[in-house]
A and B are shown apart, each in its own frame.
Chain A
Amino acid sequence: MKTSTIILLLFAGTAAAQNKPAAGSTLKPVADSTPAVADTAIKSKRALHEVVISAGAFEASDRAKGASLTPIEAVTVAGSNGDISLALRSLPGAQQIGEQEGLFVRGGTSEETRQFIDGTLLRTPNYPSVPGVPQAARINPFLFRGILFSTGGYSALYGGAMSSALILESEDLPEKTSARFFLFPTVLGAGMQHLAKNNRSSFGFNLNYGNQSLYNNIVPQKPDYFSGPIYMDGNVNFRIKTGKTGMLKLYSGWGHSDVGMNNPDIDSVALKAGYQVRGWNSYNNLSFRSYLSQNWKLEAGAAYSYNRQENNLHLTNEKGNVVAIPYIPYSYKTSDRNLETDFAQGRLVISHFFPQGQALRFGAEQFYTHDHGRSNDSLLRVTDHLTAVFAEGDIYLADNLAAKVGARMEYSSLLQKTVVAPRASLAYRLRDGSQFNLAYGIFYQEPANDYLYQPNQLNFSSASHYILNYTKKANNRFFRVEVYYKQYQDLVKTIPTLSNNGKGYAQGVELFWRDKKSIKNLDYWITYTYLDTKRDFLNYPYQLRPSFAAPHTATIAIKKYFPDINTNVNLSWAMATGRPYYHINYNGIDDQGTTKGYNAVNLHVAWLCSFIKNKKWKDFSGVAMGINNLTGTRQVFGYNYSYNGMVKQPITLPATRSFFIGIFMSFGIDRTDDFLNNNL
């Protein structure tokens, strides 16, 4: 949906990434640059032998060196569709789940991965789910100057995610005052950013409107949409520097979506099963960071989000009339559910820096979640106050040996339980600059609200992570191998009764290789993920390989820039062996198997140009096009079963291939001279 934005920025990125960037065209009056994601890794200032703790995490920062990823590179993987979590599926540890949005990491569900923006939780990163059709992300992935994708063993500063944390840091002031618009068949948008003359504050807004009905008329979709899909979103931001080191940022976004579709009913010949979801969402984030003195730093954050979602299921007959059939299984297919969620979070982190790059961080956060709504005739209501306190230290044991040790305590008023989660990691740097990393931690997560509406005795679920990693970065190449073992405890089970009796494990090996050097203007990375996992949760009768876990996954991402024709080509290829599927009923499993493998190639091409050659105003424009699932491979993600288990239908893509083509334009006031005169 936000493909165009991606392409635009991809290009902005490419322009900067050309081997020897040019003068004066894309300029960045960056005043001070505090390192992105500074608090998630130890960074010594010791020039030539820097030890950075990196077990379990992929970091993409605007200060990336050599073959480390930058945020733009990380989010512009072909096929990412403007969704940061789809883009990160090109990194090891993530599964290729084509029928649903979100990140499924190392045997965990997408619920077990949480996204944090400037420290605070982004509760609903995507538009409301639609069965079988992944929904777009709400937040523009180019908003971030730092992305830390932790596939395990992350810092005590974060919690509430059993499997993975995606820690995002929003950008500070924009480079320049600029305006942009883009026009694609499915989405159009416009926005602007204004940077104050003194380079100390900025504001901006963006508006996007997406409607896929025109596109769906040209490219037939398997579901028969009776409403939308329509997506609308808008956001404003305001950022101001306070004092010498302070930065205050406000982001506020609102979104609305409406998707209604009919599919043939699997239990009957004549009926159609209708599904409609409409959502209204507001997300607000206020963050502040500042040094209090040379050695003390304060970071504070507050977030408030409101989410309203209306789901409607109904059956229609051949004449298109809604019918209500009062017996099973049809009665399940007529329902109404409205749910409103208020979520608020406050957070404070204080850091104290000691000589030699050592540091102590501590803080607290409070989460408030309130759900109220109804599902048919039953009330849905739940209120939770979760309190967390945490502390963490960065310790240099020797010049080439660093440790990060921390703990986090959480109390949930709803569960009436307190848990303590220890976290530790260790980094050892070898003489050749390569590094071994170890990480350990326990990660707690509350059961999803869906299980908390009814009276229950539920407790936190948890996972223990053990990670060993080796990285080597040299000559603009980056090699990484990681092995891990994870143990899941107290997973929620719904059958026979609602309990925390579930458990499981995951273990695997992951490889990552990136090479920016061997071929000029070509950047590629290759990953391999081996995953062995079993879990007993929800309605599983015993420990099973979950349906969202393929044992072998490989991905390739290629970015190639052709300077002579100003064209950028982005290709991604993901392969995975088949995923298990089950038909589970009260008697156990009555059918199971493994799907065929997954194999998808996505191609994006952007041609860049400049329409206006004016000295003061420069436009940065282009045409972008792309095809997802280029080879037209018929993907099978799993199977839907009829109630009696006699009919089995594959879950596939809504259309074999997806296409886009469009234009984008961006204007910026070239204020290079102002900037330079202040800096030289």
Chain B
Amino acid sequence: MKKLLICLAVLFVTYSGFAQSNALQQAVAKLDQAQTVKDYETLEKTFLGITEQPAWLAPYYAAFCNAKIGFLLQDDGEKIEPYSVRGEEQAKKALALLDAAKQPKEAAEVYTVLSMVYRTKVFINPMSYGRKYGTLSEQALKQAKTLDAQNPRAMFVTAWVKYYTPRMWGGDKDLAKQLATQSLQQLATPATGTDPHWGKAEDEALLSKFK
């Protein structure tokens, strides 16, 4: 009886571990399909409930959901703040779970998302939030590129910034196109799994503005 219990317990633990892994895998798969604020809101909650290893992924994806929501709401400054605040907390939590010296590529992913989260704070009202958070966003992005110069997602965010910044302040549409194209090349083969692999659709959306 005792043995059976142990067996069952082991089975259960294994199963839940499996289910967990499945949960992260499933959530990321859903994330690849997400489009609306509602989709990302639901997914953020899902990611927050996931405790699977590697531990930084769940808060990373939650922060990414909030960043995406902020970008979707960029013309509705009244609504963005709570998402930005949560996104910042989650990104910082993910960073705390990483050792940037040993895991530079992972840390670069988180800094990229943190940069996007700060960008969403700018959307709240560029006049009042722009200077502070535009700067923070830029710095986080710089950090990401220092850690991993070839990260296609950091490249996309750079392209985005170069595209939308007026020339006088360092904007450069040609460079934006070049970076987005380069990023897209790296993302050409569709990746799966739980590692960060988003960016293709974002690159394509940005490049479509050049047509």
The interface of chain A, by Cβ under 8 A from chain B, is 13, 15-28, 30, 47-48, 61-68, 70, 72-73, 175, 433, 473-476, 517, 563-564, 566, 608-610, 672, 675-676, 679-680
User: Of B77, B136, B143, which is in contact with the most chain A CB atoms at under 10 Å from its CB?
Assistant: B77
User: Nearest chain A CB to B111's CB is how many angstroms away?
Assistant: 9
Please indicate the chain A residues that have their CB under 8 angstroms from the CB of B167 in the complex. 563-564, 566
What's the Cα separation between A216 and B50 when bound, in Å?
74
> Can you list, as one digit per residue, whether each of B158-197 has a CB less than 8 Å from chain A (1) or not (0)?
0001001111111100000000000000000000000000
Nearest neighbor of A472 in chain B, beta-carbon distance:
B78
What's the Cα separation between A175 and B132 when bound, in Å?
10
> Can you list, as one digit per residue, whether each of B117-142 has a CB less than 8 Å from chain A (1) or not (0)?
00100101111111110111111100
CB <8 Å contact, A23 and B135: yes
What's the Cα separation between A476 and B81 when bound, in Å?
13
User: Nearest chain A CB to B140's CB is how many angstroms away?
Assistant: 7
User: Of B77, B82, B122, B166, which is in contact with the most chain A CB atoms at under 10 Å from its CB?
Assistant: B166
Nearest neighbor of B81 in chain A, beta-carbon distance:
A65
The interface of chain B, by Cβ under 8 A from chain A, is 75-82, 85, 119, 122, 124-132, 134-140, 143, 161, 164-171
User: Nearest chain A CB to B141's CB is how many angstroms away?
Assistant: 8
What's the Cα separation between A303 and B119 when bound, in Å?
41
Nearest neighbor of A30 in chain B, beta-carbon distance:
B132
Nearest neighbor of A70 in chain B, beta-carbon distance:
B127
Given contacts A16-B131, A28-B131, A47-B81, 20 further A-B contacts (CB under 8 A): A18-B166, A22-B134, A22-B165, A23-B137, A25-B168, A25-B170, A27-B135, A28-B135, A65-B77, A66-B77, A66-B78, A473-B78, A476-B75, A476-B76, A476-B78, A563-B167, A563-B168, A564-B167, A566-B166, A680-B136
What's the Cα separation between A15 and B126 when bound, in Å?
9
What's the Cα separation between A644 and B78 when bound, in Å?
60
CB <8 Å contact, A23 and B170: yes
Nearest neighbor of A63 in chain B, beta-carbon distance:
B128
What's the Cα separation between A517 and B139 when bound, in Å?
28
What's the Cα separation between A609 and B76 when bound, in Å?
30
What's the Cα separation between A48 and B78 when bound, in Å?
9
CB <8 Å contact, A66 and B143: no
CB <8 Å contact, A676 and B136: yes
CB <8 Å contact, A563 and B166: yes
Given contacts A47-B82, A517-B75, A680-B140, contact A17 B124 (CB under 8 A): no
Nearest neighbor of A518 in chain B, beta-carbon distance:
B75
Please indicate the chain A residues that have their CB under 8 angstroms from the CB of B132 in the complex. 28, 30
Nearest neighbor of A675 in chain B, beta-carbon distance:
B135
Please indicate the chain B residues that have their CB under 8 angstroms from the CB of A63 in the complex. 128-129
What are 30 inter-chain pairs, A to B, with CB distance below 8 A? A16-B127, A16-B134, A18-B165, A18-B166, A19-B164, A20-B126, A20-B164, A21-B122, A21-B169, A22-B171, A24-B138, A28-B132, A28-B135, A30-B131, A64-B125, A64-B127, A65-B128, A66-B125, A67-B78, A70-B125, A70-B128, A72-B127, A73-B127, A475-B76, A517-B75, A563-B171, A564-B166, A676-B136, A676-B139, A679-B136
